[in-house]
Structure 1
Amino acid sequence: MVQYKWIALSNTSLGAFMGFMNANVVLIALPAIFRGININPFNSFQYLLWILFGYSIVSAILVVNVGRISDIFGRVRMYNLGFLIFTIASILLYLTPGKGDIAAIQLIIYRILQGIGGSFLMANSAAILSEAFPPNERGFALGLNGVIGIFGGVAGIIIGGILASIYWRDVFLVSVPIGILGTIWSYKSLRQLNKPNRNQSIDIVGNILYAVSLISILLGITYGILPYGNQVTGWTNPFVISGIVAGVGMFIGFLFVESRVKDPMFRIELFKIRAFTSSAVSIILAQLAFGGLQLMLVLLLQAIWLPLHGYSYEVTPFWAGVYLLPLLAGFGIMGSIAGRLADRYGARSLATIGLLIMGIGVLTLTTLPYNFNYIEFAVIIFFIGVGNGLFVSPNMTALMNASPPQHRGSASGIRAMLTNTGSTLSIGIFFTIVIDTLYISLPPVLTNALTAAGAPQLAPILSKIPPTAAIFASFLGYNPVSTILSQLPTSLVNAIPASTIATITGTYWFPNVIASPFMEALRIAFYVSASMAFLATIASALRGKTVIYERDLMRPMAVNSSDDKKD
């Protein structure tokens, strides 16, 4: 009979595969989705942000709550429910009945529902694996689980590109058979190994404070990226300021409440364990450094590099995913090895070296010109992926090993919350740097380029287009100049020579114009990213020796002398 640990690994890996695949399918297929529901990218930034980030925001808000509830009512039960919710949401996304703004809102609601299901899966998968595998095999299990997730991400790029060219609704349907299989299999095969402690009470006040505080902060960050009035970003928007300030205030109040209630949802005492705290701090800093990196690289490829190499805007989303495969390959190759290494040698050296490699890799990206040699680019992002694979699995193993068995649901939820929150913050930071820099540097460059092309009358119009619009249009596979001209009076456009129109709406003109200011902005973002990575490196290096709760904290005298050699 197959050992239960392999059943648990295969089932949770199916969930990881589905989650990663779904994320990349949606990312690649966004142009087809927006065209399918007849949405104009120039006045629909908020829809794009919510379709992209609604899933991760909801997951970040719920994972800690779900992890805590799972410790009370059973992790397997909550995990099974997550598979079911995710599958139902995928069916609803496929059936989206509306068009235009209504369809966009429907998609956002269903994506949020997917995020609820995803939070049940994320909050419990690491805890289920940690229960099923002994401490000396957890790194292997968590690493392999992550690698299979990466395979799902690769599959999502390929499947998303194929299905988007056929029918936009099919990109959501692809998750349904996997979801149905996973739901049936998890209900039939997974079992609760550690008895839930149902004598604990649910921390209602803590749950409410936590949810409202994180909603306020993440909403503030999301709308801080969007234009406000005459300003290119919304960081001076009273709604944004009040949301972030109120959210931070409520989160401080939440921590105060959690330190005093009998059965808190947020196990602050976990942070008294040095290995847990170091792993958690490393996660948030690493996500701040790299959470927005892949999206910035996608923008670099779609807005500049691919059009300069002859790719039409319509196909750039798919090819951007293909050209980023070395990043995923590096993670997948090293992730499959790092888990085993962590079981043998501990997490500190591996995770620290991984973060250092990622930081150096991002610094190396700043040396590339905008029309870079792809082989050089591929080698750099491959090693960034290697560093990420060397960090993620050992660090997660260290965090779960240091957690008490009865609180591993909470620990897994905290890990997922830090990951999703850090990623959302990172995207906000990266976008703000790029958009604010472009706002200053792009208008004069655009004016000079239009004058040189023979269309000076367009300079006052195009130079006032928010950088957000140009970037998001490129991201969605639209030629920004063609899209803008289609919205101008016909008399104005007809007054411009046809040869000039052909030049400025061609594949090469806009990428050449935006390239220098965009790379200037990206370099600033990369320097910030590298700084965060090196801070994460320091936090990881300070984690101390390997800690396994059952061995070192429950029975501290049982430490084997051979274990002291780790780290």
Structure 2
Amino acid sequence: MALISMAQSSADHPTDPSKYLWTVLSVTTLGAFMAGLDTRIVVVGLDAVAGALHADIEQALWFTQAYMLGSTLMLLLVGRLADLYGRVRLYLAGFAVFTVGSLLSGLSPNPLLLIASRFVQGLGGGILNTVSAAIVTDAAAYGPLAFALSVNSLAFRLGSILGLTLGGLIIGLFDWRLIFWINVPVGVAAVIWGRRTLREIYKPREQKSMDWLGFALFTVFTFSILLALTFEGYGLSYRKIANAMYALSMASLAGFTLWELRQSHPLLDLRLFKVWSFTGGVVAQFLNAVAFGSVMLLLTLYFEVAKSMSPSETGLLLMPFELSFLAFSLISGKLSDKYGYVGFAILGLFVGSLALLVLSSISLSTPYWQVALGSALLGAGNGLFMSPNTSAIMSSVPEERRGVASALRNVLFNLGMTLSLNISVLLLSSRLSYDLITKLLLGAELDEAQLAAGRSSLALALGEAFRVLALVNLSAAVFSVSRVRGKRVLNFKTPEYGGLTCPGS
């Protein structure tokens, strides 16, 4: 492929690092914007797509799950390839794959082809998310790293906000296929712009050796654990399949760990976990993803099902979270470059936990200003946490491990998001019967007493879910606090595994 084999203009650091950083951001923010837009625009249009293709409920769920699988399965391989061969060509290839997947999704004539196309799109999106963090870290290694990463977060959130309204507008005025095809011209423009402007400033140092057995074992682990979590959400009839997938995932993870410890050129260098700034960071991010992953779904259920709001009204009512995230992400990105990453990550987790506790008190009679306050606090907490935490993770590892570090960060984030949805579904079903939840969701006819009782019970169950998620988020804060005095950078040039340098965190 010409895109993969194109020559890069320079392997040296640019003469003006600050200017080049903005050049990098001009490309990576397009990828982040597309990812944010695609995430929300597909959710908004899911019922229309399912209806047009005559898909059943399980197929409709796989329209989103296929994207998640595609964006997770190949991440560690992508990260390793980025460390061995460079970042830029791989990143642009990811843009091309995402664009092709978007085109094929819009052309899909039936549910199965759409699921396959969404997998391809997810693969491209996974490459973009993984390699972009490494590219930005390379370009901002001696500059405003957290601020640069917060710009990408800002682009993702802007895409998300636009997706809340644009999806309904496109489906209402045109055709559902356009929610996928809207990515195509942006993707083509980004690939052309990236080929003209990006340069490879990272010089691979390692022997070009790929650990294929390690990749196979890790792929079995991620595939089986994601399937297990997916089937867990389908109810008791899928419990045996879920348990079998859990057993397979644990066995493959154990085999992967034992194999990697014996390799001189492993897929995942397990010595990274000796760097507590890295380990504490990825664990904190995983727990934060578990706490945050289902929040938008829970708030949507509160407004649309418990309070009988329309989708357009719900989109507007969720704006306090989005706007607060935008503002505090930029603030934390700018200030944490000056005052340190970990402190802002800790502050963000405590603010987010407070927000979830505020939301845990909701009921049908709760005034909107209280829900808006909780949403805004949650946006502020996540905005304060994400960019500094990512910066702490990426700056704690040597540059020859940034691709793999970013890949593992994304794998754990995706697993946390998936687990969050399952936890919330289980918490809701423990208070409401499955039959009642289904009737409320589908708008089935209920008498006035049943409807009022069902909505009230749903609101209380949502409050309990927020309370549990707040405790999970507080546990993430514990891991962040533990990094304050942690080791920062691992020295891989020593022959033994124990060579650590301690410039601080």
- 1:149 partner letter: F
1:101-154 CA deviation, whole Å, 9 max, x = no partner? xx2222211111111001110110010000011344101101111111111111
Find the partner of 1:213 among 198, 221, 228. Answer: 221
Find the partner of 2:104 among 71, 92, 95. Answer: 92
Inter-CA distance 37–182: structure 2 relative to 1 (3 Å threshold):
same
Deviation for aligned residue 1:246: 1.4
- 2:455 partner letter: A
Is 2:371 aligned against 1:377? yes
Deviation for aligned residue 1:174: 1.4
Is 2:477 aligned against 1:470? no
Find the partner of 1:518 among 448, 458, 461. Answer: 458
Deviation for aligned residue 1:76: 1.0
CA distance in 2, matches of 1:511, 1:185: 54
- 2:464 partner letter: I
Deviation for aligned residue 1:388: 0.3
Structure 2 residue matching 1:152: 3-state secondary structure: helix
Deviation for aligned residue 1:10: 1.3
CA distance in 1, matches of 2:501, 2:181: 54
Contact 2:145 2:391 (8 Å CA) reproduced: yes
Find the partner of 2:209 among 201, 215, 220. Answer: 201
Inter-CA distance 553–298: structure 2 relative to 1 (3 Å threshold):
farther
Q: Which runs of 5+ in 1 are unaligned?
A: 98-102, 440-464, 474-478, 482-502
Inter-CA distance 363–193: structure 2 relative to 1 (3 Å threshold):
same
Partner of 1:443: none
- 1:424 partner letter: T
1:432-469 CA deviation, whole Å, 9 max, x = no partner? 22123212xxxxxxxxxxxxxxxxxxxxxxxxx73563
Inter-CA distance 368–520: structure 2 relative to 1 (3 Å threshold):
closer
Q: Normalising to structure 2: TM-score of the pair?
A: 0.90
- 2:337 partner letter: D
Q: Tell me the C-alpha RMSD between the 2 structures.
A: 2.4
Structure 1 residue matching 2:45: 3-state secondary structure: helix
CA distance in 1, matches of 2:75, 2:315: 28
Structure 2 residue matching 1:142: 3-state secondary structure: helix
Alignment of 1:52-91 (within 5 A): 52-91=64-103
Partner of 2:285: 283
1:152-182 CA deviation, whole Å, 9 max, x = no partner? 1111112112112122122112111111111
1:39-60 CA deviation, whole Å, 9 max, x = no partner? 4xxxx33223211232123212
CA distance in 2, matches of 1:256, 1:556: 23
- 2:132 partner letter: S
Percentage of pairs with the same residue: 31
Deviation for aligned residue 1:321: 2.5
Partner of 2:61: 49
Deviation for aligned residue 1:511: 5.2
Find the partner of 1:361 among 355, 369, 375. Answer: 355
Structure 2 residue matching 1:199: 3-state secondary structure: coil
Find the partner of 2:298 among 296, 300, 307. Answer: 296
CA distance in 1, matches of 2:457, 2:172: 32
CA distance in 1, matches of 2:376, 2:340: 24
Deviation for aligned residue 1:360: 1.1
Contact 1:398 1:547 (8 Å CA) reproduced: no
1:355-397 CA deviation, whole Å, 9 max, x = no partner? 0111111111121212432222112101110000000010000
CA distance in 2, matches of 1:74, 1:516: 55
CA distance in 1, matches of 2:263, 2:474: 36
Inter-CA distance 117–552: structure 2 relative to 1 (3 Å threshold):
closer
Partner of 1:109: 116
Alignment of 1:182-193 (within 5 A): 182-193=190-201
Structure 2 residue matching 1:38: 3-state secondary structure: coil
CA distance in 1, matches of 2:486, 2:196: 36
Find the partner of 1:146 among 147, 153, 161. Answer: 153
CA distance in 1, matches of 2:282, 2:404: 13
Contact 2:487 2:502 (8 Å CA) reproduced: no
1:244-302 CA deviation, whole Å, 9 max, x = no partner? 11111211211111111111111211111111111111011111111111111112222
- 1:81 partner letter: A
Contact 1:203 1:263 (8 Å CA) reproduced: yes
Structure 2 residue matching 1:466: 3-state secondary structure: helix
Partner of 2:3: none
Inter-CA distance 360–558: structure 2 relative to 1 (3 Å threshold):
closer
CA distance in 2, matches of 1:245, 1:151: 40
CA distance in 2, matches of 1:428, 1:557: 40
Most deviating of 172-181 and 534-543: 172-181
CA distance in 2, matches of 1:466, 1:511: 13
Contact 2:221 2:253 (8 Å CA) reproduced: yes
Is 2:15 aligned against 1:21? no
CA distance in 2, matches of 1:390, 1:545: 20
Inter-CA distance 106–557: structure 2 relative to 1 (3 Å threshold):
closer
Partner of 1:495: none
- 2:278 partner letter: F
- 2:438 partner letter: A
Q: Which runs of 5+ in 2 are unaligned?
A: 1-15
CA distance in 2, matches of 1:238, 1:556: 45
CA distance in 1, matches of 2:143, 2:22: 15
Is 2:401 aligned against 1:407? yes
CA distance in 2, matches of 1:512, 1:414: 45
Deviation for aligned residue 1:7: 0.9
Partner of 2:340: 346
Contact 1:20 1:156 (8 Å CA) reproduced: yes
Deviation for aligned residue 1:319: 3.0
Alignment of 1:530-549 (within 5 A): 530-545=470-485, 549=489
Contact 2:360 2:465 (8 Å CA) reproduced: no
Find the partner of 2:253 among 251, 261, 273. Answer: 251
1:56-108 CA deviation, whole Å, 9 max, x = no partner? 232122212211111112211111111001111111111122xxxxx222221
Is 2:307 aligned against 1:269? no
CA distance in 2, matches of 1:220, 1:557: 40
Is 2:386 aligned against 1:392? yes
- 1:429 partner letter: I
Inter-CA distance 218–550: structure 2 relative to 1 (3 Å threshold):
closer
- 1:153 partner letter: S
